[in-house]
Amino acid sequence: MIKATVLYGHPTDPGAFEKYYAETHLPIAAKMPGVTKMELTKFLPGPDGAKPAYYRMAELYFPGPAELQQTMGSPEGKATTTDLSNFATGGVTIIVGIVEN
């Protein structure tokens, strides 16, 4: 299984980020074919109250590398990626890895 992790930096306007993320971006991302599971995380301050390194994380799971490539090359995958610049004012880091059980 392959996992694409999207790490969102802290946005300039968290309220605007949350509204756009919930109402616009997630419905676009939900249309991507080949995603077997999606997990969303909003980070909290650490035990010491420190600001987390990232604001949010989205984890998208795929059966294998071919399905990831097909999804990201699809119109829905391209639309999802292109949409990031519309709201992710804190920047985005995308990493891909193999899930080991």
Q: Is the pTM of this model over 0.85?
A: yes
29 in any annotated domain: yes
Q: What one-letter code names the amino acid at 47?
A: P
Q: For 31-66, b where at least 16 C-beta lie within 10 A, e where not — what string?
A: ebebbeeeeeeeeeeeeeeeeeebbbbbebbbeeee
Confidence of residue 22 (pLDDT cuts 50, 70, 90): very high
CATH number at residue 22: 3.30.70.100
pLDDT of residue 101: 80
Structure tokens, 57: 């994380």
Calpha distance 9→29 (Å, rounded): 19
Contact 9, 88 (CB under 8 A): yes
pLDDT of residue 44: 97
Based on the structure, what is the number of domains in the chain?
1
1 in any annotated domain: no
Confidence of residue 33 (pLDDT cuts 50, 70, 90): very high
76 in any annotated domain: yes
Range of the domain at 31: 10-98
51 in any annotated domain: yes
The string of pLDDT tens digits covering residues 50-88 is 999 999 999 999 999 999 999 999 999 999 999 999 999
68 in any annotated domain: yes
87 in any annotated domain: yes
